[in-house]
Structure 1
């Protein structure tokens, strides 16, 4: 069992791994959805399968966001320094555009995108042996507005700049 100060906070939801019936997994998912919608600061997820799926979903969203920002910066830089190489900055711009589009369609309105996996070194020390059950996953709510604004605006500016450079190249 997880025992540190996060558990004692009022703004913490705990999804317990209690198998009462055949559809316990659906009940866990419903509890998680309710906790996400309620906007708890911390959510502790004990069921291993649900925790893994949640971490994977958050990780993919973070990957798309970071890929959009990095490919936007790279496409803008290559368009600035190598105007005559649209085959370099064009695909980078498209990667950024596609990643931002996927993020906006799939993650923007999902309440799970407001959460990040809580990384606490003390959690690692609680795991004693390999044959013990895995520790629950703790996700922490944060503001994602800044990230959304940054990766959307960087992608829009990068796309506009690359289109302009491509237009100049084709003239």
Structure 2
């Protein structure tokens, strides 16, 4: 949960989130989204490579393609339209502008989010998944034909 007292600096695209609970839920939510994205991209690439190299073995590229499809689908449904997916957690406060803000925040340990343009990342991950789906489906079709 995000405390409504969170600050946002428009000029630097940095959001400062103060968590309502003791644990850092915003960071975990972003980490899960990043994990789904990376899993979709890496398993999709692996499905493409194994589908091309070992076309006669769909049991290798099949599970990889299935994993890419499921994780890409979960990411698309759960994270793509969430505003948090456009942010990454910044743990190195020296990279943040307006470091003097840290003194104002007091003893709480806020989460610093930096806005990143993720359009290319989403296009790449969707393209890889669609290519993996195509190759995997073709190889499975050829094997059971």
TM-score, length-normalised on structure 2? 0.79
Q: Which residue of 2 aligns with 1:12?
A: none
Please name the residue that 2:19 is paired with: 47
Aligned to 1:144: 118
Q: Deviations over 1:124-154 (max 9, x none)?
A: xxxxxxxxx5632210011111111010111
Q: Specify every segment of 5 or more residues in structure 2 that has no aligned partner in the other structure, as ranges.
A: 96-106
Number of aligned residues? 133
Aligned match of 1:166 in 133, 140, 145? 140
User: Whose Rg is larger?
Assistant: 1
Checking the alignment, whether the CA contact within 8 Å between 1:74 and 1:89 is kept in structure 2 is yes
For residues 1-171 of structure 1, the aligned pairs below 5 Å read: 28=3, 30-31=4-5, 41-47=13-19, 49=21, 52-120=24-92, 122=94, 135-171=109-145
Cα distance in 1, alignment partners of residues 22 and 83 from structure 2:
16
- Structure 1 residue ranges, 4+ long, deviating more than 6 angstroms after superposition: none
**Which structure 1 segments of 5+ residues have no match?**
1-24, 124-132
Stretch deviating more after TM superposition (60-69 or 41-50)? 41-50
2:16 aligned counterpart, secondary structure: strand
TM-score, length basis structure 1: 0.68
Instruction: State the structure with bigger RCO (CA 8 A, min sep 6), 1 or 2.
Output: 2
